[in-house]
Amino acid sequence: MKYSEFFIPTLKEVPSDAEIISHKLMIKAGMIKQSSAGIYSWLPLGLKVLKNIESIIREEQNNVGANEMLMPTIQSADLWIKSGRYDDYGKEMLRINDRSGREMLYGPTNEELITDIFQTYVTSYKELPKNLYHIQWKFRDELRPRFGVMRGREFLMKDNYSFDLNEDAAKISYNKMFKAYIKTFLRMGLTPISLRADTGPIGGNLSHEFQILANTGESTLYYDQELESLDPESLDPDKLQSYYAAVDDQHDPKKCPIAKEDLKISKGIEVGHIFYFGTKYSEKLNAYVQDHNGKQVNVHMGSYGIGVSRLVGALIEANHDDKGIKWPKSVAPFKLSIVNLMSDDLNCNTKSLEYYSYFMKENIDTLYDDRNCSIGKKLSDNDLIGTPIQIIIGKRDLAAGVIEIKDRILDKTEKIQIDDVKKVALKKLKS
RNA sequence: CGGGGAGUAGCGCAGCCUGGUAGCGCACCUGGUUUGGGACCAGGGGGUCGAAGGUUCGAAUCCUUUCUCCCCGACCA
């Protein structure tokens, strides 16, 4: 993509609305525009990141046999009345009447709908286990939306629902998902910490929340330091779940089972939550199958959420400096910037275009900064929008036979002999 | 929902106390000069001051009502 053809309205000054760093940077980098409290438009650059995050999540979900589908944002109140949640959900649920006065709602979650879909089609234990998910916008009319997309009223969420014959089978499904979650966050360059979460009144139920480490996070985490260096190839959910990890109000230094030197304290942001809740919804919404003996049994369900739009903010909280965003390569909107410092110089143009077409052919999502503006603006814009690898082409360097390559994440630049530029850049991009 | 704060040009702000018909920086447009870290000079365009009502000869400014947004708290992906 040529910068001159792309819509990235970067700002020098940020609207006074924004308070936390990720929100400021998202506005500054032209990723989002607020529409009303807790509701945002996603501009092209922001959308690219959102899509990159989505596709990592999608790949890891599909890898463990989850089925992607898409349910509507607007739901009829009927199923919610059946499940009893139409009253329970309170003011957080956005209620709407259609033209004939029927009660509708903008879905805050999808247990009711999915259970209804399941019970329509599945009648035998032979079809289990099943795991269905979708990535869809939700709406929760929060008491107080804040922190930009980290706590919006409208937000994009990946939610799955697992269906199993009994509790043991459901726990296998649960652990599969657990593992997929850890892998997903690791691929985004994040450090996930899983914590056993409170599940409320129904005993025997299981729930974990997933936080990622970020200095500016909302919660304070106490955890075994081994959780910081997980090997995705040898992930064992049971072992992982046995490590110590707690948020500050659950952490009691006297009862902490691990040695002080192994205990780490850090700030975290919650980006995912998984639950096993047994037959809670399958009973109310008549989701049952026939077992081996021909007996009707309610299916055991779990639900699994990842805050996709929240992750965009969380990733920035975890990866930035005073110049802007430092995207991990896996989610970066552009992997490579070619910064042409002198857009009316023939040599600079020729070289820039050569690299641009080369890296596009190599399937590298490349931003070619061909704008006719000052050097300072180009360099600072590319730093702000956080392209991890930048090739900086200037008249002076070209005359000296070199080109500069910047690693935005390490914040290091080096001068490379012109003949080596493609090779070096490719190597950095793949590392 | 309780407590605090803010709405004046696209963005950041001043003006309000003490009423006299709106200003600065950035951005934008034109011309020129520049070019290795958000350029410089000259010229220029853009605002019914969140909305409604009231007081007054006259309201951004005073009074009333209302809407919106932000921050702190309780709740959450």
Q: pLDDT (tens digit, 9 = 90+) per residue, A312-356?
A: 999 999 999 999 999 999 999 999 999 999 988 999 999 999 999
What CATH number does the domain located at A336-430 have?
Answer: 3.40.50.800
Overall size of chain A counted in residues: 431
Closest C-alpha to A271, from A216, A190, A330, A176: A190
DSSP string, A127-164: G--EEEEEEEEEE---SS-BTGGGB-SEEEEEEEEEEE
> Residue A344's CB: how many other CB atoms inside 10 A?
8
What is the Cα A315 distance to its own chain's centre?
Answer: 8
Phi and psi torsions of A98, nearest 5°: -85, -175
Roughly what angle, to the nearest 10 degrees, separates helices A44-63 and A167-187?
Answer: 140
Is there a contact between A287 and A281 (Cβ–Cβ < 8 Å)? yes
**Degrees, nearest 5: CA angle A281-A283-A284:** 65
Nucleotide B73, nearest residue via CA and C1': A144
- In this complex, the residue with its CA at the shortest distance from the C1' of nucleotide B37 is A376
CA distance linking residue A37 with residue A34, whole number of Å: 7
> ipTM score of the complex?
0.94
- List the one residue out of A198, A251, A254 whose CA is nearest residue A223: A251
Strand B contacted by A408 CB (< 7 A): no
* Mean of all residue pLDDT scores within chain A: 93
Distance A398 CA to B10 C1' (A): 38
User: CA A29, A30, A31, A35 torsion: positive or negative?
Assistant: positive
Q: What is the pLDDT of residues A262-314, one digit of tens each?
A: 999 999 999 999 999 899 889 988 999 999 999 999 999 999 999 999 999 99
CA closest to B11 C1', residue:
A13
- For A222-270, the pLDDT digits (tens) are 999 999 988 888 899 998 888 899 888 888 888 888 888 899 999 999 9
In this prediction, residue A199 carries a pLDDT of: 57
pLDDT score for A91: 87
Band of residue A203 on the pLDDT scale cut at 50, 70, 90: very low
Domain limits, CATH 3.40.50.800, in chain A: 336-430
Instruction: Establish whether the CB of A94 is closer than 7 Å to any nucleic acid atom in strand B.
Output: no
Q: How confident is the model at residue A201 (pLDDT cuts 50, 70, 90)?
A: very low
CATH number 3.40.50.720 is the correct assignment for the domain at A20-71+110-321: no
Q: Which nucleotide is nearest to A36 (CA to C1')?
A: B69
What does A302-321 look like in DSSP terms, one character per residue?
A: EEEEEEHHHHHHHHHHHSEE
Give strand letter and number of the nucleotide nearest A404 (CA to C1'). B36
Cα A24 to Cα A175: distance, rounded to the nearest angstrom = 37
| A28 is near strand B: CB distance < 7 Å | yes
In angstroms, the CA of A220 and the C1' of B64 are apart by 47
With CA of A272 and C1' of each nucleotide, the nearest comes out as B77
Strand B and chain A: which residues 358-397 have CB closer than 7 Å?
Answer: 374-377, 379-381, 383-384, 392-397
Distance, angstroms, CA A221 to C1' B6? 35
The C1' atom of B50 and the CA atom of A14 lie apart, in whole Å, by 20
Distance, Å, A33 CA → B22 C1': 29
What pLDDT, on a 0 to 100 scale, did the predictor assign at position A202?
A: 43
Instruction: Yes or no: say if A212 and A268 are a contact pair by the CB < 8 Å rule.
Output: yes
**Neighbour-count burial of A401, counting CB atoms closer than 10 A to its CB (0-12 exposed, 13-18 middle, 19+ buried):** exposed
List every span in chain A annotated with CATH 3.30.930.10. 20-71+110-321
Mean pLDDT of A402-424: 97
Instruction: State which H helix or E strand residue A390 sits in.
Output: strand A389-393
**All residues at 6 or more sequence positions from A63 whose CB lies less than 8 Å from its CB, including other chains:** A180
State the pairing for strand pair A263-278/A300-307: antiparallel
Q: Name which of A358, A363, A407 is nearest A383 in CA terms.
A: A407
User: Which residues of A in 201-240 have their CB below 7 Å from strand B's atoms?
Assistant: 209, 218
- Cβ atoms A193, A227 nearer than 8 A: yes
Give all strands of the β-sheet with A389-393 in edge-to-edge order. A366-369, A336-340, A389-393, A402-407, A412-417
Angle of helix A44-63 relative to helix A308-318, nearest 10 degrees?
A: 110
Q: How far is the CA of A91 from the C1' of B65 (A)?
A: 27
> What nucleotides of chain B have any atom within 7 angstroms of a protein Cβ?
1-2, 6, 11-13, 25-27, 34-39, 68-77
How wide is the angle at C-alpha A416 spanned by C-alphas A415 and A422, nearest 5°?
135
Give every CB contact of residue A117 below 8 A, 6+ residues apart in sequence. A71, A132
Instruction: Render pLDDT for A379-395 as a digit per residue (tens, 0 to 9).
Output: 999 999 999 999 999 99
Q: Tell me the CA–C1' distance in angstroms for A147 and B12.
A: 20
Minimum CA–C1' distance nucleotide for A39: B69
Q: How far is the CA of A93 from the C1' of B75 (A)?
A: 14
Percent of chain A past pLDDT 90, that is, above it, reads 81
